[in-house]
Chains A and B, each alone.
Chain A
Amino acid sequence: MADSSPNVALLQRWLDRWLPKLSLIPSGLASLIFIYAFIAWTIWLSFTSSSLLPSNNFAGLKEYDVLFQLDIWWVSVANLAIFGVLYVAFCLAIGLFLAILLDQKIRAEGWLRTIYLYPLALSLVVTGVVWKWMLNPSLGLEHVVQSLGWTGFSFDWLIDPNMAIYTVVIAAVWQASGFVTALFLAGLRGIDSSIIKAAQMDGASLPRVYLSIIIPSLRPVFFSAVILLVSLAIKSFDLVIALTGGGPGYSTWVPAIFMYDFGFNRGQIGLGAAAATLMMAAVALAMLPMLFAELKERRDGRSH
């Protein structure tokens, strides 16, 4: 091609060659700094005795020591364990149950799915606010049940330090179980129907088909749902703040609140960083099974 100016042509050629790589630089650089450097920075902070301001005084595992001495940290961890287990279990159970029912050629499936899924579009703050009102001990659901004639009914978990964490479970399950339903439904739709037909030909009853064929083949969906729910649970913050504010007292604290409160309100940056680091470790631990499964899958896939 006869280019009028050789310099323009050279620039052109250089751009053709490098633009694809250059275009990735902003995002690549951003993730190097804002993700990887920040992770390293936070981990480093957790090994310093930073208080009001970040400092570089290396303190080894001191902050972790302090953390493990704190009653409030262990309350947070215990709450997270209770919340996490119940949240995941209820979401999976409700999700699977509703998905199986929805998969029976339901006429209004589209509508029902829309209704089940909409809570996911709401922010957790809104979820917390509305459930706080519904669970209000004097004017909320308790009052409704009482006015139905069951005057002795009492439901005051929201202000009961021993029970308040369960209200968080109630609200969180309401918000996410429709989403899990959608996940399972997509999984059910992906199952090869000829396998099921064959099993039914062999005389297997419907519950049997579900128990021994369909549900086991939803394993991958279980996996991804659990991973998603666990990482959501570990990050849970907004909902607790809006619903209970961490109270009564600090009975509904979770690690995310601990991290925020110590890192930003109480000027204990070292402790906050340590808490954040442990949260990341927890997520990583939850991810490991999936990573292994994925790797195994790939290896098996290649051997074919």
Chain B
Amino acid sequence: MAAATEDGIQRGGLIARVLIYGVLIFAAAYFLLPLYVMLTTSFKTLGQISGGSLLSLPSPWSTEGWSAAWSSACTGGDCTGLHQYFWNSVRFTVPAVLLSTLFGAINGYALTKWRFRGSELIFALLLGGTFVPFQMFLLPMANVLGKLGLANSLAGLTLVHTVYGIAFTTLFCRNYYVSIPDELVKAARIDGAGFFSTFRYVILPLSTPILMVCIIWQFTQIWNDFLFGVVFTSGGSHPITVALNNLVNTSSTGIKRYNVDMAGAIITALPTLVVYMVAGRYFMRGLTAGAVKG
């Protein structure tokens, strides 16, 4: 594809080439601008913000926004910064990511390598959840969490995120596992391995690419979630996204502290950004590894 059109463009000449690069770089600047603004603003003092330009660099650099965002800014009721909420998010995101990935992998394995009458139906059943707006689940879930005594708790959020993540992880894993030859599982069964030992010794070691996909996807989804957090928790058990929104939108003190807002935004965004930077390429690779072979 690329090779074919390249000839055409090169015939178009240098001007076209320069134009293309120009547009692409402009687009990159457009995508980067908010990140730049976030970063520079977070290191400015309030005086620099109201006096200077949005695009200017901080001088001098100040970390006052950062320390306030982390440990003293007001998020609605209390004024202890975001740190407590950051750890809240870690505490339900990590188990929910691991649990939903584990279940997805086992489901994908059972659905592709131990097919039985009705397994396609179960797959369809599990997938049904992917496109239903979460708003359909909020009212009953609030009720059920209340009855289970899990309302306003991190355990409740873990449950919610695990349950609604399984559809995605199952889909990813199933599509990947169909590309693993069935003969491997047959060989393992002949060798005396049962359902779980085949999974543990044969399938799991081959699953790294798709487990990366599941973990990256689930981590991003769950960490960034706002809806479940705002509906099912309150006060001290909010996740960081809700706390950030409270920090930005409910401060009643009069002056907006944009440096604190931006530092808070970066703190909220940092974990998923880091995951994207470090592991983003595994995401695309893992997804296509399954698709190409399957």
Question: Do A and B come into direct contact in the complex, CB within 8 Å?
Answer: yes
Binary interface encoding of chain B residues 9-37 relative to chain A, with 1 for a CB under 8 A from any of its CBs, else 0:
10010000000110110011011111101
- Answer whether residue A143 sits at the interface, using C-beta atoms and an 8 A cutoff: yes
Q: Is the beta-carbon distance between B241 and A125 smaller than 8 angstroms?
A: yes
Residues on the A chain within 8 Å of B277, using CB = 114, 118
- Answer whether residue B282 sits at the interface, using C-beta atoms and an 8 A cutoff: no
Known contacts: A134-B34, A200-B7. The answer to whether A121 contacts B276 by CB under 8 A is yes
Q: Is the beta-carbon distance between B2 and A237 smaller than 8 angstroms?
A: no
Which residues from 112 to 159 on chain A have a C-beta closer than 8 Å to any C-beta of chain B? Answer: 112, 114-134, 136, 139-141, 143-144, 147
- Answer whether residue A160 sits at the interface, using C-beta atoms and an 8 A cutoff: no
Taking CB as reference atom, which chain B residue is nearest A239?
A: B226
Residues on the B chain within 8 Å of A280, using CB = 132-133, 135-136
A292 to B64, CA, bound (A): 57
Q: Is the beta-carbon distance between A24 and B111 smaller than 8 angstroms?
A: yes
Shortest C-beta distance, A186 to chain B (Å), equals 8
Number of CB contacts from chain A to chain B under 8 A: 278
Q: Is the beta-carbon distance between A269 and B4 smaller than 8 angstroms?
A: no
Identify whether the interface residues of A are mostly helix, strand, loop, or mixed: helix
Q: Is the beta-carbon distance between A241 and B38 smaller than 8 angstroms?
A: no
Q: Is the beta-carbon distance between A106 and B224 smaller than 8 angstroms?
A: no
Binary interface encoding of chain A residues 282-293 relative to chain B, with 1 for a CB under 8 A from any of its CBs, else 0:
010001000000
A128 to B241, CA, bound (A): 11
Residues on the B chain within 8 Å of A35, using CB = 128-129, 132, 137, 167
Residues on the A chain within 8 Å of B23, using CB = 101
Residues on the B chain within 8 Å of A84, using CB = none
- Answer whether residue B170 sits at the interface, using C-beta atoms and an 8 A cutoff: yes
Shortest C-beta distance, A80 to chain B (Å), equals 12
Q: What is the size category of the interface that chain A forms with chain B?
A: 35 or more
Shortest C-beta distance, A43 to chain B (Å), equals 8
Q: What is the size category of the interface that chain B forms with chain A?
A: 35 or more
A152 to B220, CA, bound (A): 42
Q: Is the beta-carbon distance between B54 and A119 smaller than 8 angstroms?
A: no
Residues on the B chain within 8 Å of A186, using CB = 288
Residues on the A chain within 8 Å of B140, using CB = 37-38, 41-42, 45
Complex interface: stretch among B71-79, B175-183, B207-215, B257-265: B257-265
Which residues from 70 to 124 on chain A have a C-beta closer than 8 Å to any C-beta of chain B? Answer: 94, 98, 101-106, 112, 114-124
Shortest C-beta distance, B217 to chain A (Å), equals 11
Residues on the A chain within 8 Å of B119, using CB = 24
Complex interface: stretch among A60-68, A161-169, A187-195: A187-195
A34 to B135, CA, bound (A): 12
- The residue among B140, B220, B244 with the most chain A CB atoms within 10 A of its own CB is B140
- Answer whether residue A26 sits at the interface, using C-beta atoms and an 8 A cutoff: yes
Binary interface encoding of chain B residues 27-58 relative to chain A, with 1 for a CB under 8 A from any of its CBs, else 0:
11011111101100100000001100111000
Which 7 A-B residue pairs are closest in the complex by CB-CB distance?
A123-B224, A20-B114, A121-B276, A206-B8, A238-B226, A19-B195, A276-B135
Binding site for A on B (CB under 8 A): 1-9, 12, 20-21, 23-24, 27-28, 30-35, 37-38, 41, 49-50, 53-55, 103, 106-107, 110-111, 114, 116, 119, 122, 125-126, 128-129, 131-143, 163-164, 166-167, 170, 194-196, 220, 223-227, 230-231, 241-242, 244-245, 248-249, 258, 261-262, 264-265, 268-269, 272-273, 275-277, 280, 284, 288
Given contacts A114-B277, A121-B272, A263-B139, could you give 6 more A-B pairs where the C-beta distance is less than 8 Å? Answer: A12-B194, A23-B106, A38-B141, A125-B268, A193-B4, A272-B138
17 pairs, A vs B, C-beta closer than 8 Å: A26-B103, A28-B126, A35-B128, A45-B140, A101-B23, A112-B24, A119-B31, A122-B224, A129-B264, A139-B54, A141-B54, A196-B1, A209-B8, A237-B227, A255-B135, A263-B139, A280-B135
Binding site for B on A (CB under 8 A): 12, 15-16, 19-21, 23-24, 26-28, 30-32, 34-39, 41-42, 45, 54, 94, 98, 101-106, 112, 114-134, 136, 139-141, 143-144, 147, 174, 178, 182, 186, 188-193, 196-197, 200, 205-206, 209, 231, 234-235, 237-238, 241-242, 245, 255-256, 259-260, 263-264, 269, 272-273, 275-277, 279-280, 283, 287
